[in-house]
Amino acid sequence: MTSHDHPTPTDSDVCYRHPDRTSGVTCQRCDRTICPSCMNQASVGVHCPECAKGNKQKVYNARTLPGAQGTVTKGLVGVNVAIWVLTIAALGATINSAGPVGADYGTWGPAIDVDNEWWRIISGGFLHSGLFHIGFNMYLLWQLGQQLERILGEARFGLVYLVSLLGGTFGALLLDPEVPVVGASGAVFGLIGLTVFAYRSRGIGLFDTGLGFLILINAFYSLRGGVSLGGHLGGFVVGALLGIMWFGLNPGDGPLFGRDLRKPWIVSAVLGVLLIVGSIWAAGTWTDPLF
């Protein structure tokens, strides 16, 4: 029987700080070989102690990732509830009706067109006409918002929520400019549109979860009287467009602009501006509605 000598480790096979330890792992930044004792976990790969000190790169986990705590979602729910309570306490609304709040502060074509109250384009999306109205919208915002905020991060989620709200405003003014409209439904329907493509990008069908049933219920609800069909439809269409941009049209496509995160920000912001301009134009059709 013959014996075989073990090959002597080269300098590239041993830890640069502990020459008695072999390793096949290298620092992501400087390519020095490091042993398990010298590994510092980074957002991508591992770093040696020197690079970890110099880079000061923050390491995230499931709890500290941007959006993991649902901060923006919780804030939006809190603001909507606080405003609803304020309208009841001081502005003449009741637990079952918006009262004069809709005419005074809601999305309403004549006030935007004649009185130049352009702020109504956004303010109407934070008002509600009763307990069921705000309860339903806040439930959906809570359920969908936390999922999307975890995927998109806080800043991007805040942006898509605002643009979806503007989409709902544009749709409401386009179809019914002479009717005061209140509610976060346009923004919430935008989140539904976003979630459709977030799921689709991961190969999850609408009816593999409760989302498909949720869409059917909301579609039926949108057709009943006293509900802004334009607001719901406008929010959903804009949310779907944002979903295609951020997640891709088909499973496996990936985001529309790939890894470039600047373009989606720019396009989303431009879309928001266009929706504001479109809403002002649509408000001016109240004397001769298009539909």
Nearest to 168 by CA among 239, 238, 235: 235
CB 110 within 8 A of CB 286: yes
Domain count, the chain: 2
- The mean pLDDT value for 147-164 works out to 94
Do residues 127 and 226 both lie within one domain? yes
Ranking 54-63, 222-231, 269-278 by mean pLDDT, the lowest is 54-63
The per-residue pLDDT for range 28-68, each reduced to its tens digit, is 777 788 888 888 876 556 788 877 775 554 444 445 445 56
CATH number at residue 157: 1.20.1540.10
What pLDDT is attached to residue 67? 57
The per-residue pLDDT for range 180-200, each reduced to its tens digit, is 999 999 999 999 999 999 988
Q: Is residue 5 part of a domain?
A: no
- pTM to 2 decimals? 0.76
The per-residue pLDDT for range 75-119, each reduced to its tens digit, is 999 999 999 999 999 999 999 999 999 999 999 999 999 999 999
Positions marked active-site: 185, 232
Do residues 132 and 256 both lie within one domain? yes
